[in-house]
Structures are given as structure tokens and as C-alpha cells.
Structure 1
Amino acid sequence: MSSIKSDPLYNDTEPFVEIDPSGRFGRYNDLLGSGAVKKVYWGFDQEEGIEIAWNQVHLGKFSGDERMVKRLQSEVCLLRSLGHKNIITLYAVWLNRKNHTLNFITEVCTSGNLREYRKKYKNVSLMALKKWARQILRGLEYLHKHEPCIIHRDLNCSNVFINGNVGEVKIGDLGLAAIVGRDHIAHSILGTPEFMAPELYEEDYTEMVDIYSFGMCVLEMVTVEIPYSECDSVAKIYKRVIHGIRPLALRKVKDPEVQAFIEKCLAKPRERPSASELLKDPFFDNLEDLV
């Protein structure tokens, strides 16, 4: 019986443009999404016969810094050991030194990210939004209680994914998460300005930055508007965030219960509830536990 590795680099419909070192995963040229340093492509797991997401991080200026490359690789490798239904599963990770890329294979969600899904389906009940929010919190609780603690640092609706047929929500884009040691403090900036907590800019923060970002996610889910869309530059967003000026979108939240819940998440670091505490919040009372 021939091995997958010996199979030709194509399938019946579309050729792979790249294949992983084991020969198991193939990458197509179709983009699922892209960011400043990362591109996500459609891929296929020949062993399991399922579609996957091929994440490719371009190391760029880090390619000559062996220490940084090893750190990134080890962080992603640790994520491979995670196992939670509200966290995207990581299947494989490897370094392509020739192309200066860090590659990792993850599961793919059928309905894409929550931002696009919410734009597509405008008529969503508050009950459904609460179910999505609770699942995000369950994922955060798992990350924050992990040993060592894992801070996402870039949580927003574009890297939360959904299987719309069952309403299952999963946190993704964990490849550049910060893994925090005993001091529980991280010291580098990484994130999306509209969702970044004020202390992130100071480079001295804890996992509570994810709670702030989660609050902004809830705001976006409710209003279908990216926070601080009234600002036309990162500098203006930064100025408002560090001075505690809330996004105008918060004024569009008419339900006092929802507004109060969001404000809890956006409070000062020491006053923010943990993911575990938020899961016990009355906001989620009387919610059916279907997912």
C-alpha cells in the first residue's frame, strides 16, 4: 500500500500548491483570510479526508533571529496540546526555513468568522447572542486557567469562528498568543487597536486584556459595528482608549442589561471580572444549555 507521502502532489479537482513535510496536508491557493503577517488558506487532510485551514505566518524581520523563531514555534507547539470545544483545534506545526514561514494546520469552521456571519444574518435574537458570548467565555476560561496561562491578546469577531448549522462558536487565531509564566505578566504589544485594552499599550498586562476585548466583541455582536469606527486613524483610537473614552457604538445599545454587562468587561483591569466570574453573571441566567 503506497504512503500518502508518495502520492502525487495533486487531487482530482485542483492541484496543491504546497504540501507539508509529512505529506499529509495539502494547501490550495484559495485564501480564507489574511492579516499583517499571516495568511490562511484552504487545505485538505488526505489522511482523514477533511478540509482544513493552512495558516502561514511570514517571519519577515524575525527570520534571522533564531531565538525569536524558536519562541514562536514553541508557543504554537504548546497550543497543539489544547483541547476544548470552544477553541480551534491545532493539528500540526512546522517551520519552513527556505521560505521564512511558520506553518500550522487547524480545523476549519463551516460558516467562517463571527464578524462576517453577523453581517450576513442581521435578525439574531439576544438569546442567540448570549449563547455565542457564553461559548467565547468558556474558551477564554480554559485558556486563562491553563498552566501556563495563555493570553490571546488579539480577540475580536474576525478570529472567532462559527459552525452556523449548530451554533457552535470557537476562538481561533491563537498562533501568536502570549504564553505567560509565573509572573502572569506579558510584555509585548500585539492586537487590533479597536479591541485592545488600555494597559496593552503600556506593555504591562495580564489575561484581563482578553476580557476587555471580549466586551468589545459583545458590543460588535449587538450593534453589528466595529468599535471606534468613528475614528479614521489608529492614533485617534489610541487616544480615546487610553483616556477611557467609550466607542460611540455603545450608545446604540438600548438594552440596559447588555450595556451594563459590556461596561463590566471594559472596566479598569483590577475591576474586571474573570471569565469564570462572568460565566456566573445573571446576564446568562435562564439560558438554555444547548451548546
Structure 2
Amino acid sequence: MSFPIPGLPRETQHLPDWTPRLVQIDQFAFALGEHSDVFRARKTQDVRGKRVYAVKTLRAGSSSNPNFHAQLQRKLVRWGDVLGQLNHENVCTIRGLVYGTSRFPGIVMDFYEGGSIVNRMKSHSYTNDQKSLWVKQIASGMRYLHRRKPTIVHGDLRGSNIFLNSSGNIAIADIGMVYITDTPEFTMMQSAATARWTAPELMDPKVPRQSTSSEGPDCTIQSDVFAFAMTIVQIFSEALPFRHVANDTTCIFLILRGERPALPEFVQGHHALAGLVRDCWVRDPSKRPSMTDVCWRLGMSASS
């Protein structure tokens, strides 16, 4: 079956169909994600290619579910419409959808020349002051998402989903993609790589679901806060949380046992920041601070 599927919404006011507007630049994927391939593209009328966009095309396994394709298009359009309304300097800008460039639809977003902070830290040196600014910008973007009505949960906050724009400022990407890929066609391809940022209540089978919805994983704003703490460790250590643990699956058992990664030296030397990280990753989700509280404790104003 090919997309778009006739009779189903293919675009919305906030998520237009960009298929006729774009020309793909890359013959092969520019970057690979766990469930997607990323290609660069430009507008058809932009012959000089001055403005580059990223097209994130989904990648899934085979499916015996006859409704899979229809469900996927509905979820993409519905969730994409929500993302298309976001407007914050530290949140990735979503432009629309494209069809026909791959097996599955693609999400058009701004292209961030700086790449993810993970890749940037491998090739560039950053001061702790710059990293502290990143932490504040991430907190600002997450506060914006959590304050939306209805609240938007990221669900997969980590360094590889945080990008730098041409000005060196943070842009949070892959917001809510966990809800798009929470089907057997995608989960059969998942690894335990995200476990290092995952809150214990999401991995403990004895913990009842917190949300009332049966659709998608049980991510919450509190699990986002836990992931934020792990991301702080990742930024200041320039390494994965639990950097000395080679096996991702082992980290699941460590987190469930109440163990947490060692704080980087810079964080240890700043009592307020160390206390914030520890509060953000406590076992009880109800005792974690909100992102509004996080911003206040980072010395940020209500509007910053």
C-alpha cells in the first residue's frame, strides 16, 4: 500500500503537504535514526539551494496488520498538526509532511547545521559555561512543551535528540515520536539504547500505568524530568550516563535498583546544580520538580 491513503487526511492547516514543494538533495540518507532516515531537501523554486530542510522518513518492519498503514497516516497527521503549532526558539520547527519519497511518509523540519550536541561535542570543545547555557535552553524548551494545553510530553529526551542551529542555540527534536512508533512494526526494531535516560516507573512492570490513555507508552512530564537529569550528566561528562557500563540492558536493572550515574566533576562542584539533578531523578515521580521549578532553580526568569 502506498501513501497517502485515499479517504484519509493527508495534511492540516498547521501541517501542510509539502510533497510538490521539495526536491531531495541526498541520494542516500544523510543521517540514520532508530526508526527513521534523514534526507536533506530544498524547495523546488530554490535553484541555488540556499535554504535546506530535513526530511525525516520513517522506517518500520514488515506488518501483518491490515490497518497499520491507515493507523500510521492518521497518527502522523494528528500528532504532526500538534507539532506544527509549536513556536519556541528552543524547539525544532516542523513544516509539513511529504509523500512518495520513501516507503513511508516523511516529516519536514528545519535543518540544523550544527548537528546534535552529541556529535558536536565529539568534534568541538565547549566550555562549561556554554554547556550551562545549553542546559538552560533545554529547560526553557521543555517548560514550553509542558505548559502547552494540552500538555506535550517529549518521551525521548536525550543528547542525540537535541540539536544546535547556525547560531549555536539549542533546538529540541523528535518530540512525541515515541507515540508514533509505539507499534509492533517499530518496536521490533528497538534496542535498549534509550534505557539510560528512562525513568524507573516506565521500566518497572510492577508499577501501574499512570496515564488514563491506553494509546502509546506511559511517558509523563515527570519521566521527561528524569530524562532531563540524565541529559545534564551526558552534557557535562560528554559521555553516556553510566559511562562505565557497556551493556545498555544492564542500566535498566541499575536504575530500578535505585542507582544513578556519577555526577560529572563540574556538577559536583556546583551544589545547586547537583541538588537539582538529584531531585530530578528521584524514584518517586511525584517528588520530582516541574520544568517550571527547574527553570526557576537555574536562575531563569518566567519568560526566558
| Corresponding residue SS for 2:105 | strand
Residue among 134, 139, 142 paired with 1:140: 142
User: Residue by residue, what CA displacement relative to the aligned partner does 1:60-83 show, whole Å, maximum 9, x if unpaired?
Assistant: 346742335422332123211211
Letter aligned with residue 44 of structure 1: R
Letter aligned with residue 194 of structure 1: R
Give the superposition deviation at 1:33: 2.3
Residue 222 (structure 1) aligned with residue 236 (structure 2): yes
Which residue is equivalent to 1:33? 31
Which residue is equivalent to 1:83? 87
Instruction: Provide the C-alpha distance between the structure 2 equivalents of 1:280 and 1:102, rounded to a whole number of angstroms.
Output: 40
Give the superposition deviation at 1:233: 2.3
Asked if 1 retains the 8 angstrom alpha-carbon contact of 2:53 and 2:110, the reply is yes
Give the superposition deviation at 1:95: 4.9
Kindly report which structure 2 residues correspond to 1:234-253, keeping only aligned pairs within 5 A, or say none: 234-248=248-262, 250=264, 253=267
Asked if 2 retains the 8 angstrom alpha-carbon contact of 1:230 and 1:248, the reply is no
Which residue is equivalent to 1:171? 172
User: Residue by residue, what CA displacement relative to the aligned partner does 1:215-235 show, whole Å, maximum 9, x if unpaired?
Assistant: 111111111111023223232
Letter aligned with residue 27 of structure 2: N
| Corresponding residue SS for 2:34 | coil
Kindly report which structure 2 residues correspond to 1:207-218, keeping only aligned pairs within 5 A, or say none: 207-218=221-232
Instruction: Provide the C-alpha distance between the structure 1 equivalents of 2:163 and 2:145, rounded to a whole number of angstroms.
Output: 16
Instruction: Provide the C-alpha distance between the structure 2 equivalents of 1:234 and 1:280, rounded to a whole number of angstroms.
Output: 33
Give the superposition deviation at 1:23: 2.0
User: Which one has more relative contact order, counting CA pairs under 8 Å at least 6 apart?
Assistant: 2
Asked if 2 retains the 8 angstrom alpha-carbon contact of 1:43 and 1:53, the reply is yes
Asked if 1 retains the 8 angstrom alpha-carbon contact of 2:59 and 2:104, the reply is yes
Instruction: Provide the C-alpha distance between the structure 1 equivalents of 2:72 and 2:141, rounded to a whole number of angstroms.
Output: 27
Q: How many residues align?
A: 256
Superposition RMSD in Å? 2.9
Which residue is equivalent to 1:185? none
Give TM-score scaled by structure 2 length.
0.74
Which residue is equivalent to 1:264? 279
Residue 106 (structure 1) aligned with residue 109 (structure 2): yes
Residue 120 (structure 1) aligned with residue 120 (structure 2): no
| Corresponding residue SS for 1:173 | coil
User: Residue by residue, what CA displacement relative to the aligned partner does 1:212-265 show, whole Å, maximum 9, x if unpaired?
Assistant: 111111111111111023223232111011122112455784314232221122
| Residues 176 and 123 of structure 1, relative CA distance in 2, 3 Å threshold | closer
| Residues 123 and 251 of structure 1, relative CA distance in 2, 3 Å threshold | closer
In structure 2, stretches of 5+ residues that fail to align are 1-16, 181-189, 211-218
Asked if 1 retains the 8 angstrom alpha-carbon contact of 2:57 and 2:104, the reply is yes
Asked if 1 retains the 8 angstrom alpha-carbon contact of 2:155 and 2:176, the reply is no
User: Residue by residue, what CA displacement relative to the aligned partner does 1:20-53 show, whole Å, maximum 9, x if unpaired?
Assistant: 8632112223534212211112221234641011
Question: Which ranges of 4 or more aligned residues in structure 1 deviate by more than 4 Å?
Answer: 249-253
Give TM-score scaled by structure 1 length.
0.77
Residue among 193, 196, 199 paired with 1:194: 196
Instruction: Provide the C-alpha distance between the structure 2 equivalents of 1:154 and 1:33, rounded to a whole number of angstroms.
Output: 18
| Residues 256 and 114 of structure 1, relative CA distance in 2, 3 Å threshold | same
Which residue is equivalent to 1:16? none
Letter aligned with residue 246 of structure 1: R
Give the superposition deviation at 1:161: 0.5
Asked if 1 retains the 8 angstrom alpha-carbon contact of 2:18 and 2:96, the reply is no
| Residues 166 and 100 of structure 1, relative CA distance in 2, 3 Å threshold | closer
Asked if 1 retains the 8 angstrom alpha-carbon contact of 2:99 and 2:105, the reply is yes
Higher fraction of strand: 1
Give the superposition deviation at 1:177: 4.7
Letter aligned with residue 223 of structure 2: V
User: Residue by residue, what CA displacement relative to the aligned partner does 1:109-142 show, whole Å, maximum 9, x if unpaired?
Assistant: 12111111123233413x2222111111111111
Instruction: Provide the C-alpha distance between the structure 2 equivalents of 1:134 and 1:252, rounded to a whole number of angstroms.
Output: 16
In structure 1, stretches of 5+ residues that fail to align are 1-19, 180-188
Asked if 1 retains the 8 angstrom alpha-carbon contact of 2:154 and 2:176, the reply is no
Instruction: Provide the C-alpha distance between the structure 2 equivalents of 1:218 and 1:84, rounded to a whole number of angstroms.
Output: 21
